[in-house]
Structure formats: structure tokens, C-alpha cells
């Protein structure tokens, strides 16, 4: 089943746009979520810090463990953590709270959704001096992830992790297919022909396709994540750096689209399978490889499946992989400041420094010192693909991009057809271009510049 990075059913375009339009209306009237205010301190001098997040499943378990550890270490803080419904409902409620200036002290957000979330209106910037007092500075993060949290010279998001597409592999099948190196890990694969050869070799062992990847389903987004990974490896872009113009490179896109079609057309990958089906096929030992987000690591570990994980092979020239990042943000409060605000910054810093527990769910910690801790390096297979932190391919900074966004859903539907055979690569390319242009022509419901 899907973990927190991707929901079982992503919201449709009308639902996303409608929710964001509602926020815009709230912003115009100055109204917001009522009853959300909190005093700076509660009970016996304890400072109150509220944290809203959207982590369920295995991520929810890991987050609760971290929060309990924080409470035990900080008895002077009254931490109130709320888990809200994933996706559009979460962002709508968080935005409403920010519009009213009566939001929680800290919240989780997907980094790629930051440009469409009203920095300066719905979010307050971090005080970097306060973070530094608690041992967290810009130098502790990958440069690109940190930069994406900065808008108009202010830092509105501090990255918690990155959750990239990775390659799961069944070690028993790969061993029989001669695909493992002497150290027991997957031997290096580079280029489309080498990958196709590996899939054929694995298929001879199982008697079926060597790879499974999501190809269809209601509001499917797996095909988009696959295309984004390969297209970024080819060096292609969707939009310019200001997200104002479509910049698709036809030659690079067609090379990727034809390869995607080849995967299913030649029987190298399963032809028609939804998200849950991919988990069942790989978890049942029916195929050697799965391309998916890293958050299913707990699922397969609980099945006692003989598997490991690796970075997506470099097939098109660059070792990148599609990814998003969970981050911490400060929802807008009319009177942010004082002890509560300082406690919020201290909470974020503490959570970042203690992300080994978070990494158990597969996510790669964004706080770089954790990547060198023995406790993290002892996590297998979670630490096997940690170097991808420097090669993540984030969405363009557009209001309609980011995890489970309108762009993912619309392009996922188009790219699904390439994998199932209902669209030609050329037809899909033209439809992708048209849909991106339509999104660009749609005003940002929150009135932002992105």
C-alpha cells in the first residue's frame, strides 16, 4: 500500500483547484480557521508548541517515536502533534489556518508545493539566527534542497528529507540471473541497453517480465515519476526557471517516451498494473525489479522478502531521480514571536538532528551530519542509496507542481497511455505540452508569482 509520500487516490484537478480557490477567497476576506489560537505558555510555565503533519502508515509510526523522544527530552515544552488527512484536505486546512493568522507553530509541507502555498501570506519565514543557536545552519543541507526553500531572500522551508524514486531488487532472483556483484549488491547498470539486458536475464529466471512499475489506475502518478526520472537524466526540463514557459526538449523527451513504450511492448515490464498491484507483484517474488518511491521498504521488510535497494540506474546520461522533499514550515501567525516562536525553531532543529528514526521508513535525511552517523549507516537497505541526496530532480517551481499535484495527475494520465499502448510517444508529447500550457495559463489561485 502507498505510504505518506503518495496517497492511494490523489485528488483530481477540480478538487485541487477548488481547494486552492477557496483559500484565495479566504485570503481576500481576511477570515480563516476559527478556534486555532494558542497561548504562548500553558500549565506550570510550559511553552506550548503545536505541530501539524500528514504522516500516516509506517511514516506515522516513525514520526510518533520521534515526537515521544522529543517530549521525554523536553519536559518544559507542551508539544501537541496533530495528524491530518493526507493531500488536498491537509493543505486546505493548513492554508485556512495561515490565512486567519491562527495557525500551529510548525507544520510539515512538501517542498515542491512551497511556491503555490503563499510564502509571506500563509507562511512565515524562519529566523536563521535562531536555528543556528540550536546547531542548524545552511551548510548542513544539500545546496539545492536548501535553495528551494528560499523565496525573495527569506527561508520559508527547512528540508527534513528527500524521498526519491529508487530501484528495488529481489536478491535471490538477481543472483540466479547473474546480476549481483561479488559483494552481494546489484552490479552497476548503465545505459538503456544494459538495463534491458538485465530485465531479460531476470525474466528468464521468473518466466515473466523482469520489472514492475505502475502503469495505470485512477489518478495514476507513477508514470509521471518514471518519466520525470528518465527525462531529468537526459538533461531535459519542463518549464523555465521561473515556471512561466514550457521548455520541453522534443528530442530528449521522445527518446525517453520511446524507451518507456519499449519496456511494456517488449515484455520487459508488466503491461497493465496499478500501484497496489506493483507492490503485490514484487512482494510476491514474481519479478526481480520494482521502480517506485523508497517508502515501501517497511512493507517488503515485513514480508521477509529477500530484497535490497539501489539508486535508479543512469540510463540517459545523468544519475538523477525524481524526488520531492518533506520540509518544516512556519504557518502564518499574526503575533509570531517570543518564547513560542523560539521553541518552534528549537523543535525543528532537534527533529532534524534526530532523523535516524525517520530514515527507517526509507527517506534520506536532508540534515547531512546524520548521513555519517553509524546508526544510519547500519540501516540496510536504507543507507544504500543515500548518495542520491545530491542528484534529486525536483519539480519546477510552479504553483501546480509538487507531490500529488495537478501537474502530476494530468501528466500521469497522459504517460499512462504510453506504457499501456493507448497513446503513441509522439501523441503523448504533444498532449503533455498542451496540458502544461493550460496549467500555465491558469492563474495561481493564491495570486503568487510562480
Name the pLDDT band for 447 (thresholds 50, 70, 90): low
Burial class (CB in 10 A: 0-12, 13-18, 19+), 34: exposed
Mean pLDDT of 18-43: 39
> From CA 411, how far away is CA 238, in angstroms rounded?
11
> Is there a domain that residue 433 lies in?
yes
Q: What is the bridge-based pairing of β-strands 46-53 and 77-83?
A: parallel
**Residue 423: domain span:** 164-323+397-441
Residue 450 confidence (pLDDT) above 70 = no
The candidate with the shortest Cα–Cα distance to 326, out of 361, 299, 286, 301, is: 361
- Taken in order 308, 314, 320, 321, the sign of the CA dihedral is negative
Q: Which residue has the cell 536504507?
A: 382
Q: How many domains does the chain have?
A: 2
Same domain, 189 and 268: yes
Taking the complete model, does pTM exceed 0.85, yes or no? Answer: yes
> Is there a domain that residue 21 lies in?
no
Residue 8 confidence (pLDDT) above 50 = no
Q: What is the per-residue pLDDT for 2?
A: 41
Q: pLDDT, tens digit, for every residue of 52-62?
A: 999 988 899 99
Domain's final residue, options 391, 406, 425:
391
Q: pLDDT, tens digit, for every residue of 346-360?
A: 999 999 999 999 999
Kindly report whether the peptide bond that precedes residue 381 is cis, defined as omega within 30 degrees of 0.
yes
Mean pLDDT of 297-321: 97
> Is there a domain that residue 4 lies in?
no
Q: What is the per-residue pLDDT for 334?
A: 87
Same domain, 171 and 155: no
Q: What is the per-residue pLDDT for 57?
A: 85
CA distances in angstroms from 3 to 11, 64, 134, 284, 299, listed in the order given: 16, 15, 31, 19, 9
- Taking CA 74 as the corner, what is the angle to CA 69 and CA 80, rounded to the nearest 5 degrees? 75
Three cell numbers written together for 226: 518514471
> Is there a domain that residue 373 lies in?
yes
Beta bridge partners of 327: 109, 159
SS3 198: helix
The candidate with the shortest Cα–Cα distance to 159, out of 112, 105, 225, 104, is: 112
For the domain that residue 307 is a member of, what is the CATH number? 3.40.190.10
Q: pLDDT, tens digit, for every residue of 93-120?
A: 887 887 776 799 999 999 988 987 767 7
Residue 74 confidence (pLDDT) above 60 = yes
Of 88 and 151, more confident: 151
Same domain, 370 and 414: no
Same domain, 145 and 275: no
> Is there a domain that residue 136 lies in?
yes
Q: What is the per-residue pLDDT for 449?
A: 45
Name the pLDDT band for 17 (thresholds 50, 70, 90): very low
Mean pLDDT of 227-237: 98
Q: What is the per-residue pLDDT for 95?
A: 79
SS3 122: coil
Contacts for 50 with CB less than 8 Å, ≥ 6 apart: 38, 79, 80, 81, 82, 104, 105, 106
Burial class (CB in 10 A: 0-12, 13-18, 19+), 88: buried
Residue 218 confidence (pLDDT) above 60 = yes
Q: What is the per-residue pLDDT for 33?
A: 36
The candidate with the shortest Cα–Cα distance to 369, out of 128, 131, 159, 140, is: 140
Same domain, 194 and 76: no
Cα 96 from chain centroid (whole Å) = 23
- Report the share of the chain in percent with pLDDT over 90: 78
Residue 12 confidence (pLDDT) above 50 = no
Contact 212/273 with Cβ under 8 angstroms? yes
Three cell numbers written together for 11: 485528488
CA distances in angstroms from 21 to 88, 108, 439, listed in the order given: 12, 21, 14
Contact 232/350 with Cβ under 8 angstroms? no
The candidate with the shortest Cα–Cα distance to 169, out of 379, 381, 383, is: 381
> Is there a domain that residue 76 lies in?
yes
Same domain, 361 and 383: yes
Instruction: Provide the b/e sequence for 358-386 (b: ≥16 CB within 10 Å).
Output: bbbbbbbbbbeebbebeebeebebbbbbb
Same domain, 278 and 177: yes
Question: Phi, psi at residue 246, to the nearest 5°?
Answer: -70, 130
Mean pLDDT of 64-88: 92
Q: Where are the beta strands (DSSP E) in 123-275?
A: 123-124, 150-151, 154-155, 158-159, 161-170, 211-212
Q: What is the per-residue pLDDT for 408?
A: 94
> From CA 254, how far away is CA 429, in angstroms rounded?
7
Beta bridge partners of 293: 165
Q: What is the bridge-based pairing of β-strands 307-311 and 158-159?
A: unpaired
Q: pLDDT, tens digit, for every residue of 387-435?
A: 999 999 999 999 899 887 899 999 999 999 999 999 999 999 999 999 9
Q: What is the per-residue pLDDT for 102?
A: 77
Same domain, 226 and 260: yes
Average pLDDT over all residues of the chain: 89
Same domain, 354 and 406: no
Domain's final residue, options 372, 391, 410:
391
Three cell numbers written together for 210: 523482469
Q: What is the per-residue pLDDT for 43?
A: 55
Render 26-54 in DSSP notation, one character per residue. Answer: HHHHT---TT----SEETTTEEEEEEEE-
Three cell numbers written together for 201: 536475464
Where helices occur in 266-319 by DSSP H, the ranges are 275-283, 297-302
> From CA 240, how far away is CA 350, in angstroms rounded?
36
Q: Which strand (E) or helix (H) includes residue 426?
A: helix 425-441
> From CA 42, how far away is CA 310, in angstroms rounded?
47
Name the pLDDT band for 446 (thresholds 50, 70, 90): low
Same domain, 221 and 109: no
> Is there a domain that residue 217 lies in?
yes
Same domain, 403 and 428: yes
> Is there a domain that residue 244 lies in?
yes
Q: pLDDT, tens digit, for every residue of 141-180?
A: 999 999 999 999 999 999 999 999 999 999 999 999 999 9
Same domain, 176 and 283: yes
Name the pLDDT band for 204 (thresholds 50, 70, 90): very high
Amino acid at each position: 500500500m502507498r505510504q505518506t509520500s503518495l496517497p492511494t487516490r490523489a485528488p483530481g484537478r477540480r478538487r485541487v483547484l477548488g481547494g486552492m480557490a477557496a483559500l484565495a477567497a479566504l485570503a481576500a476576506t481576511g477570515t480563516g480557521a476559527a478556534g486555532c489560537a494558542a497561548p504562548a505558555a500553558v500549565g506550570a510555565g510550559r511553552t506550548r508548541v503545536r505541530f501539524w503533519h500528514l504522516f500516516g502508515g509506517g511514516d506515522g509510526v516513525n514520526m510518533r517515536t520521534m515526537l515521544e523522544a522529543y517530549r521525554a527530552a523536553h519536559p518544559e515544552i507542551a508539544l501537541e502533534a496533530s495528524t491530518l488527512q493526507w493531500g488536498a484536505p491537509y493543505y486546505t486546512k493548513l492554508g485556512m489556518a495561515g490565512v486567519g493568522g491562527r495557525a500551529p507553530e510548525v507544520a510539515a509541507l512538501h517542498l515542491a508545493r512551497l511556491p503555490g502555498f503563499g510564502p509571506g501570506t500563509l507562511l512565515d519565514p524562519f529566523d536563521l539566527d535562531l536555528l543556528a543557536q540550536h546547531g542548524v545552519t545552511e551548510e548542513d543541507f544539500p545546496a539545492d534542497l536548501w535553495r528551494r526553500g528560499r523565496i525573495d531572500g527569506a527561508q520559508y522551508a527547512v528540508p527534513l528529507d528527500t524521498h526519491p524514486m529508487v530501484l528495488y531488487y529481489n536478491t535471490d532472483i538477481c543472483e540466479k540471473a547473474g546480476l549481483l556483484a561479488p559483494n552481494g549488491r546489484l552490479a552497476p547498470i548503465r545505459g538503456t541497453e544494459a538495463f534491458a539486458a538485465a530485465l531479460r536475464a531476470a525474466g528468464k529466471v521468473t518466466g515473466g517480465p523482469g520489472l514492475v512499475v505502475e502503469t495505470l489506475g485512477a489518478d495514476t502518478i507513477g508514470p509521471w515519476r518514471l518519466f520525470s526520472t528518465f527525462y531529468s537524466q537526459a538533461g531535459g526540463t519542463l518549464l523555465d526557471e521561473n515556471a512561466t514557459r514550457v521548455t520541453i526538449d522534443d528530442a530528449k523527451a521522445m527518446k525517453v517516451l520511446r524507451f518507456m513504450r519499449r519496456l511494456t511492448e517488449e515484455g520487459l515490464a508488466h503491461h497493465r498494473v496499478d500501484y497496489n498491484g506493483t507492490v503485490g507483484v514484487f512482494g510476491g517474488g514474481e519479478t526481480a525489479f520494482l521502480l517506485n518511491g523508497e517508502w515501501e521498504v517497511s512493507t517488503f521488510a515485513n514480508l521477509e522478502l529477500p530484497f535490497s535497494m539501489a539508486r535508479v540506474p543512469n540510463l540517459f546520461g545523468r544519475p538523477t531521480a525524481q524526488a520531492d522533499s518533506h520540509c518544516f514550515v512556519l504557518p502564518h501567525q499574526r503575533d509570531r514571536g517570543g518564547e513560542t516562536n523560539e521553541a518552534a525553531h528549537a523543535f525543528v532543529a532537534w527533529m532534524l538532528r534526530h532523523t535516524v528514526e525517520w530514515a527507517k521508513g526509507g527517506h534520506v535525511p536532508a540534515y547531512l551530519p546524520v548521513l555519517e552517523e553509524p546508526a544510519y549507516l547500519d540501516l540496510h537497505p536504507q543507507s544504500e542509496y543515500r548518495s542520491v541526496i545530491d542528484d534529486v530532480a525536483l519539480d519546477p517551481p510552479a504553483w501546480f507542481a509538487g507531490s500529488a499535484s495537478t501537474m502530476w495527475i494530468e501528466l500521469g494520465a497522459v504517460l499512462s497511455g504510453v506504457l499501456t499502448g493507448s497513446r503513441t510517444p509522439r501523441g503523448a508529447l504533444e498532449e503533455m505540452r498542451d496540458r502544461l500550457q493550460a496549467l500555465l495559463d491558469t492563474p495561481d489561485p493564491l495570486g503568487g508569482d510562480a
